[in-house]
Amino acid sequence: MLNAGEQAPAIELPDTDMKPRSLSEFAGRYVVLYFYPKDDTPGCTIQASEFTDLIDEFEGADIQIVGISTDDCFSHQAFREKYGLRVLLLADVEQEVCNRYGVIQEKEKQGIRKLGVVRSSFVIDPAGKLAYVEYGVTPRDHARKMLEFVKEHRHG
């Protein structure tokens, strides 16, 4: 697991439209990077929708939102279209980036233990350092919390 103050691990993954994207293209900006378990599930839909609802505020503050799951680009396309999502979604089918960020962890559901993506968020500052790290995120109101954190961090 990662900690605030560490360098953010590199990211190179395809986006919803299968275009290769990297974290380096956002150098000099704040990035809210969030990992979520699965497209079109209740908590993930709440989280992505709330980021979309606030996207104009994030963009106005020059903050890039990036969501990552292990779903493929086609799943991301369907998720984006079904809910009108405006956040950048990246596909980590091979779980390489998820492993670098420590979000693949053992989870228990209905008494069964298995490895999966733990909902997690990271704020990366303009220098590429982790300014905020949270594993086990609650989806509701998280987008607003991240927006307020970055605004305070920038002026603090």
**pLDDT averaged per 10 residues, the chain (length 156):** 96 97 95 97 95 97 97 97 97 97 90 92 97 96 96 85
Beta bridge partners of 89: 67
44 is catalytic: yes
How many helices (H) does the chain have, and how many strands (E)? 5, 9
Q: What is the pLDDT of residue 88?
A: 97
d(CA 138, CA 4): 19
Instruction: Give residue 120's pLDDT.
Output: 97
What pLDDT sits at residue 108? 82
Burial of 128 (0-12, 13-18, 19+ CB in 10 A): middle
| Record: fold of 12-155 | Glutaredoxin (3.40.30)
The domains of the chain are located at: 12-155
> Which one of 44, 117, 124, 143 is the catalytic residue?
44
